[in-house]
Amino acid sequence: MSYYFTILSTRDTPLFSLALGTAKAGGDSTPRFPPQALQLCPYLLHASLDFVDEAQFANPAMYLKRIDAFASASISCFITPTSTRFLLLHLPHAPNTNPQAGMGEGRGFGPFVPAVPMNPASPQAEEAVRQFFGEVFEVWIKAQMSPFQDGEGKLGSPVFRERVRAAGRKYL
């Protein structure tokens, strides 16, 4: 699977973005997005914000699970108490295959059906995403508590980026 993680402020401006790959099942944790799909990821995440707003007031939990889907991609959301949103787009693809196959057809990602079933809505995948969000939330709180960090400014710290990448390798 390939993942695209974004932190959005309360005003829907991106504070942090990172493309991640799976480290499970022999993966090397490098993202396998084709260039056109990687450019489309921020737009897909922003398009899901309407669903986030609806789910935010209907569900009191911070982790909203899978809130939106587009073609074969799924979007999960975590909302902090300050209404900062963590969005994770996950695109399944079969291991040892070309993830670009079928990507240029139709809208967005195209009709891709993996040979090995990978379900982002499975309980194991949702639990891994929940744990990833929990660890990133802890790191985010520490970064926000820094006197050198602006509350609504971009998170450009290489330490923060590496800790998010480590959480991705650990859980995704």
pLDDT of 51-94, one tens digit each?
998 888 888 899 988 888 888 889 999 999 999 999 999 887 64
Q: State the first-to-last Cα distance of the chain, in angstroms, to the nearest integer.
A: 8
Question: Residue 1 and residue 22: Cα distance in Å, rounded?
Answer: 5
Supply φ then ψ for residue 150, to 5 degrees: -80, 135
What is the pTM (predicted TM-score) of this model? 0.79
CA-wise closest residue to 99 among 89, 109, 84: 109
Q: What is residue 136's predicted lDDT score, i.e. its pLDDT? A: 95
Q: What is residue 84's predicted lDDT score, i.e. its pLDDT? A: 92
Q: Which residues on neighbouring strands pair with residue 88, listed in sequence order?
A: 5, 76
Greater model confidence, 29 or 103: 29
Domain positions in the chain are 2-171
pLDDT of 26-42, one tens digit each?
566 677 777 787 888 88
CA-wise closest residue to 168 among 121, 134, 124: 134
Question: Residue 96 and residue 68: Cα distance in Å, rounded?
Answer: 27
Q: Is the pLDDT of residue 149 over 80?
A: no
CA-wise closest residue to 10 among 83, 87, 64: 83
Mean pLDDT of 105-125: 54
What CATH class is the domain 2-171?
alpha beta
